[in-house]
Amino acid sequence: MNEIPVGTPRSKIEIQIDGNLVKAPEGSTILDACRQEGIDTPTLCWAENLTPVNVCRVCVVEVEGSRTLVPSCSRPIEDGMVVSTDSDRVRKSRKMVYELLASSVDMDRSTSEVKDWMEHYEVDSDRMGEKTEIATVAQPPKVQDSLYVRDYERCILCYKCVEACGEDAQHTFAIATAGRGFDAHISTEFDVALPDSACVYCGNCIGVCPTGALVFKTEHDMREAGTWNEQDQEVTTTVCSFCGVGCNLELHVQDEKIVKVTSPADHSVTSGHLCIKGRFGWQHAQP
Amino acid sequence: MSDLKFGVDKPTAEEREAIDDFISGVGPASIKVNERFVVGGRSRAKDRRRLLLPALHELQSTSGWISPGGLNYICKVLGVPPAEAYGVATFYHLFSHQAPAANEQIHVCDDVACRLQGAEELIKDLKESGYEAKSSPCLGQCERGPAVLIQRIKGKDLAVVAESPKPLTVKNIDKALKENASSEQVTIPQRGTDSLSLLARVGVVNPKSIKEYQEKNGYEALGIALNVGPDKVIEEVTASKLSGRGGAAFPTGVKWRAVADEQGRPRHIVCNADESEPGTFKDRTLMEGDPFAVIEAMTIAGFAIGAEQGWIYIRGEYPVAEEHLKNAIEEAKREGLLGSDISGSGFNFDISLYKGAGAYICGEETALFNSIEGFRGEPRNKPPFPTTHGLFGEPTAINNVETLVNVLPILRNGGSNYAMKGTENSPGTRLFCLSGRVENPGIYEHEFGITLGEVIEAAGGVKDSKEIKAILLGGAAGSFVTAEHLHLPLTLEATREAGVSLGSGVVMVFDESDDLPDTVRRIAEFFRDESCGQCVPCRVGTVRQEEVLARFTQGTSFASDEELLEDLSTVMKDASICGLGHTASGAITSAINLGLLERTT
Ligand SMILES: Cc1cc2nc3c(=O)[nH]c(=O)nc-3n(C[C@H](O)[C@H](O)[C@H](O)COP(=O)(O)O)c2cc1C
Ligand code: SF4
Ligand code: SF4
Ligand code: SF4
Ligand code: FES
Ligand code: FES
């Protein structure tokens, strides 16, 4: 992930996407090639700073010769590949993935990108039945410290937080997937409270969560009180002053108060990841 | 990973001792010895991690659960993050996460075949008699249901089935516990018949005696293999047109050639003995009745593809097969037929036995690799395929038990000779698992091309001469057919053309009195319970599918349920990661198309 790209130009491969010939560098995924062509593709479990786990299946495309649909986020392109990104099959699967999620998970606080796609595919999860009568992941939020909240009834099990906490960034391994099937969930060992786990409060898991299941306590409290207002927030970019590494910080400010801190995923130093000081240190600097 | 943080819970003295004993027995010491040819590259870092699953078994059988102190200790010894180890432990249904209430945990199969034989009543009776009993998916003993697995603290697990045609009662369980013995289980109605090839020794020789095995052609094939060399072995297997018996029918010769041609080392041969497809009990029968055949065939496979390490992954519910295989490995080593310099040929080959812990998905080849490696049994995305990136990311050939055992007659009689049996495109013989409403349930060996009707006739026909209502062909991942299909020749090509599959050889018969809607709902429940939970279409789709069928059996269907079921089926097939999601709706869709869900009375 943090490898510095070597200077030799990669050879280009020619494939067909939605009837158009496309040239993309060898080693690209179908998703890379789509983005290069400006073809919007939904993703949930993919992030540019994490290794693809290809579990959500919302990015699937049709590849000629393949019996099933193919996850575009992880499949490398091959010479002569013929890809359709908007066929009936593709639309049907993408729509249903959102429907299955929305029928079991509270998606209200998802990113606007997620919401836009759900609208685009005219998601109707009601046909699965009343939420009170079918299986869902409904549960009370875990508020175990003053820094952040884990609200797992919003969790779509995209594995991003596990990756960020483990091999892709933090190497802390405080959280992992436990249980199986529909009972699978993100957990510490024996579900101990976060302060008793290996967690170092870097907040990197918060940074990658697409559905608002992991949030700063400030954000959680403001949302519960109805005072959270993303439109009114200003984002200022600065460099963290706690040490000499030089991490970029984005301070989200509402009503002259810092309400959360992020870092750009494409930043060369952080790849979007921070430590406890950058992520939460402002709580002490706050006027 | 140098500074992992562990919890504060301490193991009991007993737990510590059991785990220490286990690690020093199979742990670092044996890793060192084997390292020369077993581990290398990426796997080196993982040589401790792969002790996680067996260590969890050790803890479960010492304490009756995965205690926080015990798990903590395992994590420290093996250097595994506790959250990850907890994630692995909670993946498997044979590990408990609450302190045990009794010395034994009784798992009663209430799956498709056993629920016809009074499984639910047995669970009720056991509970009333004070036992800790719970329902289980198919235990691979469908010929004499209801089947039972008794899991005990500090005692070997017992597999119990009825001794007579009468279903099991609480008394049988009392007796098994008192005698500390599993039931005699191998049912081969054709036993001793001349036409048998794969089953020739089953039920005839003592499965614990290598002498008796050798007296009945045992180890002839290995002798031939060592003589003719690896390439010729693969040539013969290719000429035989042997195809995989684990479900996908992939040509075995092609698979072996691909691994043999890989540059990477080490390479592995894995025997898939996870057999958990409801209705399937053929691999258990082979392992219990002819365990040396499995060991000999794996040795030949290892020789052919250039692997020095073999792995058997056996499901955790097969205590008798496990014991027989362990014995066979030891005996073969003693006779110089396994280990270093086999029969003076210079070929080194060793076999490790890994035990699953209650997860159908671990039969999927890449989930199986993850399970051995000490990770959650979640399937990997393919490509890359096992031939290049298999166990520990290294080139691997993985084959089903029955597939491997076929290699013995192929080498003894020649590949083209073998191909004369069966049909042109489906050569050889095949094991069929007959259960449900037939007179003589059990394992049968027939040439490919026999019709479905003939297979049922050979098992004595339908019990009490009733009418066939439906036949489950190929297992829960297969499909239902009806009496209209009795003329269907059972070959790969004919079944494919008919839109059905032989799968793992399951032929389960239902008669007019059976409650098919209940059976179909149970199949949906099976997939719901066994989904690994990794991908959305299958994790949530199998739940919604079961809900639709539950509504149907309760008479509370929504008007839109039929359409929902169709959409779920399409999307699970199209967008799931692995074969579980791809096949989870097959039997259900076929039942609907055949009108089996319509209530006649
Ligand atoms: C959900 C699932 C479960 C499976 N279970 C088994 C099993 O228990 N035994 C088996 O041999 N193959 C099983 N398979 C098939 C294996 O993935 C693999 O194809 C097989 O072991 C290859 O061996 P073969 O070529 O000899 O058939 C399963 C596949 C899936 C998708
Ligand atoms: S805050 Fe950091 S250490 Fe704690 S769970 Fe999240 S990623 Fe892991
Ligand atoms: S908590 Fe958020 S990041 Fe973690 S798996 Fe759930 S949705 Fe994904
Ligand atoms: S299809 Fe089902 S079993 Fe297979 S990876 Fe997806 S969730 Fe797991
Ligand atoms: S974004 Fe590709 S599978 Fe999730
Ligand atoms: S053992 Fe009960 S259905 Fe197979």
Asked whether residue A2 is domain-assigned, the answer is: no
Model confidence at B454: pLDDT above 90: yes
SS (H, E, C) B54-100: HHHHHHHHHHCCCCHHHHHHHHHHHCCCHHHHHHHHCCCCCCCCCCC
What value does the mean pLDDT of chain A take?
91
Q: Please check whether residues A38 and A90 belong to one and the same domain.
A: yes
Among the candidates A114, A138, A162, a domain finishes at A138
Cα angle for residues A89, A92, A94 (degrees, 5° grid): 105
Residue A242, phi then psi, degrees to nearest 5:
-70, -35
Q: Which of A28-32, A184-188, A272-276, B527-531 is least confident?
A: A272-276
| Cβ of residue B112 lying under 6 Å from some atom of ligand 6 | yes
Q: Which residues contact B144 (CB under 8 A, 6 or more apart)?
A: B161, B162, B185, B187, B441
Asked if A176 has any chain B CB less than 8 Å from its own CB, the reply is: yes
Q: What is the pLDDT of residue B204?
A: 95
**Distance between CA atoms of residues A143 and A150, nearest Å:** 7
Range of weakest confidence among A102-106, B168-172, B315-319, B519-523: B168-172
Closest chain B residue by Cα to residue A171: B1
- Within 8 A of B568 by CB-CB distance, chain A residues are 96
B214 contact partners, CB below 8 Å, separation of at least 6 = none
Helix (H, G, I), strand (E, B) or coil at A185: strand
- The domain defined by B516-593 folds into de novo design (two linked rop proteins) (1.20.1440)
- pLDDT value at position B29? 38
- CA distance to A192, B136, B522, per residue, from B514 (Å): 47, 21, 13
Q: Which of A68, A103, A134 sits opposite B574 (nearest CB)?
A: A68
Specify the CATH architecture of the domain B429-511.
Roll (3.10)
Cα B468–B474–B476 angle (5° rounding)?
A: 90
Q: Which two tokens stand for residue B340?
A: 């270093």
For A263-277, B325-339, B411-425, B513-527, which range has the lowest pLDDT when averaged over its residues?
A: A263-277
Q: Kindly list the residues from chain A whose CB atom is less than 8 angstroms away from the CB atom of residue B7.
A: 189-190, 192, 196
Distance between CA atoms of residues B196 and B374, nearest Å = 39
By percentage, how much of chain B surpasses pLDDT 70?
Answer: 96
Q: How far is CA A92 from CA A44, A103, A112, B300, in A?
A: 17, 16, 21, 47
Chain A environment of B536 (Cβ under 8 Å): 55-58, 97, 100-101, 156-157
Q: Do residues B112 and B278 lie in contact, with contact meaning Cβ atoms separated by under 8 Å? A: yes
Question: Do A205 and A181 share a domain, yes or no?
Answer: yes
**Ranges in chain B annotated CATH 3.40.50.11540:** 210-419
Does residue A189 belong to the interface with chain B, where contact is any CB pair within 8 Å?
yes
DSSP state of B359: -
Query: CB-based contact (8 Å) between A80 and chain B?
Result: no
Q: Is pLDDT larger for residue A48 or for residue B371?
A: B371
Nearest CA in chain B to A103: B540
Q: Same domain for A145 and A270?
A: yes
The ipTM assigned to this model is: 0.93
Query: Is residue A52 a part of any domain in this protein?
Result: yes
In a domain, A6, yes or no: no
Same domain, A34 and A167: no
Nearest-10 Cα torsion for B240, B246, B247, B250: -40
**In chain B, which residues fall in CATH 3.10.20.600?**
429-511
pLDDT at B398 (0 to 100): 98
Domain boundary among A138, A173, A207: A138
The residue-averaged pLDDT of B94-120 equals 95
**Is the pTM for the entire model greater than 0.80?**
yes
The pLDDT of residue B31 is above 70: no
Mean pLDDT value across residues A49-67 = 94
* Alpha-carbon gap, residue B298 to B393, rounded angstroms: 20
Closest ligand 3 atom, residue A175 Cα? 4
Number of independent structural domains in chain A: 2
In this structure, are residues B585 and B386 in contact, taking their beta carbons and an 8 Å threshold?
Answer: no
| For range B329-353, the mean pLDDT | 96
Any B CB within 8 A of A56 CB: yes
The pLDDT of residue B37 is above 70? no
Q: Are residues A261 and A275 in the same domain?
A: yes
Q: Is residue A170 part of a domain?
A: yes
Q: What is the 3-state secondary structure (H, E, C) of B480-539?
A: EECHHHCCCECCHHHHHHCCCCCCCCEEEEEECCCCHHHHHHHHHHHHHHHCCCCCHHHH
Whether residue A158 is found in the same domain as residue A123: no
Q: Are residues A200 and A271 in the same domain?
A: yes
Which CATH number belongs to the domain containing residue A237 in this structure? 3.30.70.20
**Of residues B161, B162, B155, B207, the one with CA closest to residue B180:** B155
Instruction: Answer with the one of A108, A138, A168 that is the final residue of a domain.
Output: A138
pLDDT classification of A1: cutoffs 50, 70, 90:
very low
Of A45, A46, A98, A214, the residue with max ligand 3 atoms within 8 A of its CB, to mutate for a pocket test, comes to: A214
- Residue showing tokens 């798990």: B71
Buried b (16+ CB within 10 A) or exposed e, A183-203: ebbbbbbbebebeebbbebbb
Token duo for residue B321: 């097969």
> Secondary structure of chain B: what % helix, strand, coil (to 5)?
45, 15, 40
Q: Closest approach of chain A CAs to the CA of B577, in angstroms?
A: 8
Residue B145 has pLDDT above 90, yes or no: no
What do you get for the CA distance between the two ends of chain A, in Å?
37
CATH number at residue A43: 3.10.20.740
Based on the domain organization, do A162 and A264 belong to the same domain?
Answer: yes
Same domain as A129, residue A37: yes
Cβ contact, residue pair A184, B381, below 8 Å: no
Question: Do residues A129 and A157 both lie within one domain?
Answer: no
A164 and A101: one domain?
A: no
Q: Is B477 exposed, middle or buried (0-12, 13-18, 19+ CB in 10 A)?
A: buried
Query: Taking residues B249-267, what's their average pLDDT?
Result: 95
Same domain, A94 and A151: no
- Of the candidates B528, B535, B547, which has its C-beta nearest A134's C-beta? B547
User: Which residues from B are below 8 Å from A171, CB to CB?
Assistant: 1
Measuring from atom 3 of ligand 3, which residue has the nearest CA? Answer: A209
CATH 3.10.20.740 is right for the domain spanning B210-419 = no
Homologous superfamily (CATH) of B104-179 is Glutaredoxin (3.40.30.10)
Looking at the domain assignment, is residue A51 inside a domain?
yes
Name the band, by pLDDT with cuts 50, 70 and 90, for residue A231.
confident
pLDDT at A40 over 70: yes
pLDDT surpasses 70 at B265: yes
Q: Is residue A5 part of a domain?
A: no
Ligand showing the shortest atom-to-Cα distance for residue B314: 1
Partner residue facing B87 (CB), from A89, A134, A176: A176
Where would I find the beta strands (DSSP E) of chain A? 12-17, 20-25, 60-63, 70-71, 82-84, 142-143, 148-150, 176-178, 185-187, 214-216, 234-239, 248-254, 257-262
- Nearest residue, CB atoms, A127 vs list B529, B564, B570: B564
CB A83 within 8 A of CB A30: yes
Q: A180 and B573: CB-CB below 8 Å? A: no
Domain that holds residue A155: 139-285
Task: Give the confidence band of A280 by pLDDT, cuts at 50, 70, 90.
Answer: confident
pLDDT at A266: 80
Residue A155's φ and ψ, nearest 5 degrees, are: -90, 125
Q: How are beta strands A185-187 and A214-216 bridged, if at all?
A: unpaired
